[in-house]
Amino acid sequence: MLKILKNLKRFTVVVPLHSLQQPVFKRYLLQAVEPVDTGTMAEVTTKLMSQLDVDIGYQAEEKKRDHLLKYIPKREDLPPRSMTESYIMATIPLRTDKAMQEKYVNNVGTVRLGRLIEAMDFFAIWVCQQYVKIPNLPPNEHLPYIFVNIIVNSMNILGQLPSYDKDLRISGYVSSVGETSLEVSVWVHLINGKAMSKITHGNFLMAARNATNTGSAPVNPLKLETEEEKKISEEAKMRTKFRKESQKASVWQKKPTQEEHDLIYDFVEKTTDKQTLELNKRILPENGRWMSDSYALNNIMSFPENRNAQNTAFGGFLMRNAFEISFITAFKHCKIRPTLEYAFEFSFDKPVAIQSLLRMLAYIIYVEKNYMLVMAINDVLEPTTTEKITSNVSYFIFSGSKGDVQQIYPRSYHEALLYIHGRRKFQNANLSSRPDNAVTEKQSENICK
């Protein structure tokens, strides 16, 4: 547990209670234009790899891309681009593609959310490739860029997951840019005849890198052409501001508040046997569970099939596994199938080499009413030295039926700090104020038909 706390100093940020609350963001989908259809996700994969000059299939040696470095432009030479020029879509044809159905179905016959998360991450890269335009790049030359995920700010589940045999549409656009970074908004919709229903939405912060991934690369400035685009850009700036402000305060940099100290003392009082002074004798309250018992652990190995264009583990693969082990943790805790309400702060701090040994750990660190906040940590293991390096941290809020979610109790001060950490995360997620999570009964029926 102490190792987890040390890693969190590097990889996560926490906002002190009452000092900062996440603003309520509206989820804008461009309405004035239709996205450009780029085919099925299988076709998108082929096109994306072709643009980067990456061969489909296993290659023992990574293809050299040094010759492309000469095409990296200066930012002042890049023409401005609009949101609509990056607004594209692709289809996940579950209705007709039986092989795809098997890949996307879960054990209860609905769409496997982990696969959707994986597809959204891949699609965000495809959106970046459509946005960047280099005027002096020869027509038949490959794009001298690669795009890597820095962090997924948030992912909202907007409705119930559909059955496995319904076509899905994935779409997205660049909503904000920096000098070498892009924020991409990605949506997934259920296609039901001519009608569409929103399923999920996420904001992906991507970094542009040069052809050999040895340095950053500039991206085109973003021009705002409509009031709608200005609103989208303003919200992206608010997200950036909130993220930067939240980095200024951490529970390991600022001590718990008096209110939080009182909460910790209350836990100690509830779990201490007052009839004896015996050291470390603790009592678990009725319908409670120790935090140290509320976890799941898995060791896996990444293989070449999980690689990205730069020959490291694909971010979507890591995200999918983080979600699925978090789901298992919540399922074990509440003993019924939980519902994902919100996912946030998928951080990618270190690249994961292909054929690495991965240690996936998920803890429930906070419970409120029927909500559970799960923290997922991915460590890269070095088996010869037993060294562990944390590469990714992410957070998931699940819900169970009322009365089925046990309260968790920390046993140590370190665990109490994790509880405060989770409490602040939960409060800043501001679930009760997010209108796009409120799905009516009628909407749910339409989604599942």
Give the residue, 273 or 250, on which the prediction is more confident: 273
Residue 444 has pLDDT above 50, yes or no: no
Dist. CA 405–CA 364, nearest whole Å: 11
pLDDT tens track for 326-374:
999 999 999 999 999 999 888 888 888 887 899 999 999 999 999 999 9
Give the total residue count for the chain. Answer: 449
The pLDDT value recorded for residue 33 is 85
Contact 380, 438 (CB under 8 A): no
Dist. CA 33–CA 118, nearest whole Å: 26
DSSP string, 355-406: T-EEEEEEEEEEEETTEEEEEEEEEEEETTTTEEEEEEEEEEEEE--TT-S-
CA distances (Å), origin 12, targets 3, 7, 242: 14, 8, 14
Dist. CA 17–CA 164, nearest whole Å: 41
In this structure, the strands spanning 36-40 and 88-92 are parallel
Least confident of 253-262, 304-313, 440-449: 440-449
**Maximum Cα–Cα distance across the chain:** 81
Q: For 187-207, what is the mean pLDDT?
A: 91
Contact 197, 152 (CB under 8 A): no
The pLDDT value recorded for residue 315 is 87
Least confident of 187-196, 221-230, 257-266, 358-367: 187-196
The pLDDT value recorded for residue 303 is 84
DSSP string, 397-426: EEE--TT-S-EEE-SSHHHHHHHHHHHHHH
Measuring CA to CA, which residue among 449, 448, 447 is closest to residue 197? 447
Mean residue pLDDT across the chain = 85
The pLDDT value recorded for residue 161 is 87
Measuring CA to CA, which residue among 300, 361, 312, 329 is closest to residue 147? 312
Dist. CA 339–CA 288, nearest whole Å: 21
The pLDDT value recorded for residue 61 is 72
pTM summary value: 0.85
Domains and CATH numbers, the chain: 36-235 (3.10.129.10), 251-431 (3.10.129.10)
Residue 216 identity: S
Share of the chain above pLDDT 70, in %: 87
Contact 57, 202 (CB under 8 A): no
Residues β-bridged to residue 206: 149, 182
Which of 15-19, 127-131, 312-316 is most confident? 127-131
Contact 428, 249 (CB under 8 A): no
Q: For 390-400, what is the mean pLDDT?
A: 93
Contact 175, 203 (CB under 8 A): yes
